[in-house]
Structure 1
Amino acid sequence: MQKPVDLGYGISMIDLYDLGVAQRTGTYVFHEEEIAIIETGPSPSIPHLLKGLEALHIDPADIRYIIVTHIHLDHAGGVGVLLEKCPNACVVVHPKGKRHLADPSRLIAGAKAVYGEKFDKLFSPVLPVPEDRLIVKEDGDTLTLSSKRTLTFFDTPGHANHHFAIYDSLSRGVFTGDTIGVFYPQLLKNGLEYCLPSTSPNQFRPEAMLQSAERLEQLQPERIYFGHFGMLENPRTAFEQLRFWLPKFIEAGEKVMAEQSGAPMHEKAQAVFQALYQEVNDFLQAKNILAPSEAHDIIRIDLQVCSQGIVDYLQKTISQG
């Protein structure tokens, strides 16, 4: 496994090998008086997380806070399993996520609807978190880890209603989860800082996503810490790419919905995926980044899930309008 990466400012990142792939999902570790981590990844990633903590010479019993930006299983599915190894830790969660960590049955059902027979391999087991070990942070609430570091929580819907982003006073960075999308560090070797929106079902709302991004941009962060994957020290490019790509995602969805109004949902989602992948691939080819590549493989996975979220959103919009 890759050793934890020192990101400076007392923060390390552990690669969780989510989906069995490097540079996909990460856990961030704060080396403070009150040791805290952000994100656990899914349960199959917990062995990688524990090995990373061991490499950092951190006893799980010394962890005080396990923070999850939102409760999607690729970010928080492993929290129940990890908590068994962290007897002194509490889990910090968005107010709309608390009940789902205490009783993950609806989370499990939702993920099974998206991932089908792949669910067990990707996410199982998903264990409940005892309610007395859950801490809710409302919009604007803070958490002090040391005399030099305070975390501030911001309600950031758009990707999900149960999502917050976290501003770190010491690094002047924001842990964005999926709020402003996915960063593909695999493309850095090609000289490209590349991000795409994350529009997975079933609470995706583009207007809220843009509003949340604008709110985070107004903080003037000096770095972005993505759930997928890693740190970007040029935040402006992330915000610009979200504003560039999100309308294209919606436009592709609207075209398919108009042309295939009577088709089943899964066929619409596949058609949206094909349109988006073609557009992204054309963009990368123009940068002389050719398929197949590791980045293309991960992008394909992401766009398949994103397409389901776009169709779900547009279907709801049609039914409501």
Structure 2
Amino acid sequence: MSAATASAAEHGIVTIDTGFHRPVFDAAYLLIENGRAAFVDCGTQHSIPALLAALDANGLTPDDVDWLILTHVHLDHAGGAGALMRRLPNARLAVHPRGAPHMIDPSRLVAGATAVYGEAEMARSYGEIVPVPAERVVVAGDGFVVDLAGRPLLCVDTPGHARHHLCVWDQRSRAWFTGDTFGLSYREFDSARGPFALPTSSPVQFEPEPLKQSIRSLLARDPAAMYLTHYGRVEDVQRLGADLIEQIDGMVRIARAAAQAGSEDLHARLTAALADYFLARAREHGSALNEEQARDVLAVDFELNAQGLEVWLARAG
């Protein structure tokens, strides 16, 4: 099996390390049922070899894939969708109604990301972003059920991280595929207490109250586990969900306090305050990482969370 692919788990769920950004950071999932397959999220164009290797390692071919389900269209989850679909002749792509237009015509996604990162970094991190033919796109509204060889996968609207976000409920495993709705949980922070999770407010559609309600909706099904994009399967989900809701409220307090101090150096103040907040919580959790190590793992998230909170502050007035 590919080094980028975890061993096949129970319930026919395989965790695939897409290789985006760093190892064990960005996951896609392969679901296998009666010789048929579905991917949940796909990473970037650079992730395609790992996805195809996961098929091969499990005795499958691209012809056996019926679905690519996207939790949302942020590029670390969906940047490779168009290129991957070209390799999956029988697959359809299921995506939130708000995300579907961006898969059929990704030009706005590309323009927005290029404006932030520049062309060279776009090519390095994401590769080519290509459209998906409209006839292969299935709009998965709230309550839509993907049928994977008789295995129902329920798509539920879960705004808060993004307005085009859905999560996928798999009754077989009693687990959710959560994209970014259930936050980030990096394995480096696991301790004797179990996993540690923090919310993600990356730009540009973070909304704290809808996000908290989405988390509560996921927990209401009493899931056995969550499959996060960042990163992997986590259990003890009721504790994690309560922690996430508490941290969302903490992030809102931090953002409002930073805004009240004035607009000058807002981003720097906000980033520093978020770093202090999350690092303190990681220490309380019993993380074995020292502060320098923890800062290194979370540096991108401090930056993205600050950016997203700034956009939210501007929108909230």
Partner of 1:299: 298
Secondary structure (helix, strand or coil) at the match of 1:23 reads: coil
Match of 1:271 among 269, 272, 288: 269
Q: Which segments of structure 1 move beyond 6 Å, counting only runs of 4 or more?
A: none
Deviation of 1:31 after TM superposition, in Å, equals 1.1
Following superposition of structure 1 onto structure 2, how do residues 1-321 of structure 1 map, counting pairs within 5 Å?
Answer: 1-19=3-21, 21-33=22-34, 34-116=36-118, 118-147=121-150, 149-188=151-190, 191-261=193-263, 263=264, 267-286=265-284, 287=286, 289-293=289-293, 296-318=295-317
Deviation of 1:186 after TM superposition, in Å, equals 1.8
The whole-number CA distance in structure 1 between the counterparts of 2:80 and 2:314 is 31
Cα gap change, 1:185/1:31 in structure 2, threshold over 3 Å: closer, same or farther? same
Uncovered stretches (5+) of structure 2, i.e. residues with no partner = none
Give, as a single letter, the amino acid of the residue that structure 1 aligns with 2:269: A
The whole-number CA distance in structure 2 between the counterparts of 1:71 and 1:202 is 12
Give, as a single letter, the amino acid of the residue that structure 2 aligns with 1:81: A
Give, as a single letter, the amino acid of the residue that structure 2 aligns with 1:121: R
Give, as a single letter, the amino acid of the residue that structure 2 aligns with 1:45: S
Uncovered stretches (5+) of structure 1, i.e. residues with no partner = none
Deviation of 1:236 after TM superposition, in Å, equals 0.9
Give, as a single letter, the amino acid of the residue that structure 2 aligns with 1:145: L
Mapped contact 1:174–1:223 kept (Cα < 8 A): yes
Moved more, 91-100 or 25-34: 25-34
Mapped contact 1:196–1:242 kept (Cα < 8 A): yes
The whole-number CA distance in structure 2 between the counterparts of 1:114 and 1:254 is 25
The whole-number CA distance in structure 1 between the counterparts of 2:169 and 2:237 is 13
Show CA shifts across 1:295-315 (max 9, x none): 542311112111100000001
Moved more, 102-111 or 86-95: 102-111
Deviation of 1:102 after TM superposition, in Å, equals 0.6
Q: TM-score, normalised by structure 1?
A: 0.91
Deviation of 1:316 after TM superposition, in Å, equals 1.0
The whole-number CA distance in structure 2 between the counterparts of 1:143 and 1:36 is 10
Give, as a single letter, the amino acid of the residue that structure 1 aligns with 2:80: G
Mapped contact 2:4–2:50 kept (Cα < 8 A): no
The whole-number CA distance in structure 1 between the counterparts of 2:124 and 2:178 is 26
What percent of counterpart residues are identical?
33
| Number of equivalenced pairs | 311
Mapped contact 1:154–1:165 kept (Cα < 8 A): yes
Give, as a single letter, the amino acid of the residue that structure 2 aligns with 1:131: A
Deviation of 1:3 after TM superposition, in Å, equals 3.6
Give, as a single letter, the amino acid of the residue that structure 1 aligns with 2:52: L
Secondary structure (helix, strand or coil) at the match of 1:275 reads: helix
Deviation of 1:215 after TM superposition, in Å, equals 1.1
Mapped contact 2:275–2:295 kept (Cα < 8 A): no
Give, as a single letter, the amino acid of the residue that structure 2 aligns with 1:302: D
Give, as a single letter, the amino acid of the residue that structure 2 aligns with 1:310: L
Give, as a single letter, the amino acid of the residue that structure 1 aligns with 2:15: M
Show CA shifts across 1:196-217 (max 9, x none): 1010111110011011111111
Give, as a single letter, the amino acid of the residue that structure 1 aligns with 2:312: Y
* RMSD of aligned residue pairs (Cα, Å): 1.7
The whole-number CA distance in structure 2 between the counterparts of 1:214 and 1:120 is 38
Secondary structure (helix, strand or coil) at the match of 2:71 reads: coil
Secondary structure (helix, strand or coil) at the match of 2:195 reads: coil
The whole-number CA distance in structure 2 between the counterparts of 1:71 and 1:172 is 25
Mapped contact 1:284–1:290 kept (Cα < 8 A): no
Give, as a single letter, the amino acid of the residue that structure 2 aligns with 1:281: L
